[in-house]
Amino acid sequence: MIRKFFKTILVLLLISIAYTIVCRWIMPPITITQLGSLFAGNGLRRDYVSWDEISSNAKLAAIAGEDQLFPEHGGFDWSAIEKSLDTRHKNRIRGAAASTISQQTAKNVFLWQGEGIMKYVRKAPEFFYTKMIEWFWGKKRILCVYLNTIEMGKGVYGIEAASQKYFHHSAKYLTRKEAAMIIACLPNPKVFTVLPESRFVRWKSNWILRQMNNIQSDTDIRKIIN
């Protein structure tokens, strides 16, 4: 019985590794979060696009708003995690407290959303998948998949669908302001609406624009977004 259990675990692990490697070249057909959106009646508006079809403004806005250490870390921002465990350092500016773009991508593609007990159940596989995509995908691929799969409005997934819905043109032509507005909704895209522009999105998009100006000349960031 125990032998069968460990054999099953090994098979599932190998399947997970194989699927992760395959997603280095193809976008995930569907994610648990996207299925949840369908079952909840929110619909699924999604249109995957390639790296070259995404404006560099969107790439820069994502790094500026969500994870400015993205070029440097190996998947985890340990200093931010430490601060997130200390209630004295709670900061609403981060898109998802202590979660890097790599972690969010791993969660969006391979795992599930949710707080409470499910959040803690998710931690071990989130660590596994985060390290896997860092090893096998590289930064550009992680950012590309992130921008294609993250929820950017109720039932709206990915930068292309968001750009078409809010601004009626392709993600390739997003301006700095438009990109900042979309990224600003990420802490809770069902609540913080891009259009009509919520108070939070207005405030945070302006903050993101300032951060974009601050980091745009960084050599490591330029290597990723270009």
Return the CATH number at 87. 1.10.3810.10
Report pLDDT digits (tens) over 132-141: 999 999 999 9
Count CA atoms closer than 13 A to 132's CA, side-chain side. 23
pLDDT category, 112, cuts 50, 70, 90?
Answer: confident
- Residues 63, 45: Cα–Cα separation, whole Å: 24
Q: Which domain holds residue 196?
A: 2-225
CA dihedral 133, 225, 169, 152 (to 10 degrees): 40
pLDDT category, 79, cuts 50, 70, 90?
Answer: low
Q: How many domains does the chain have?
A: 1
pTM over 0.75? The answer is yes
pLDDT category, 80, cuts 50, 70, 90?
Answer: low
The dihedral through the CA atoms of 187, 189, 193, 194 has a sign that is: positive
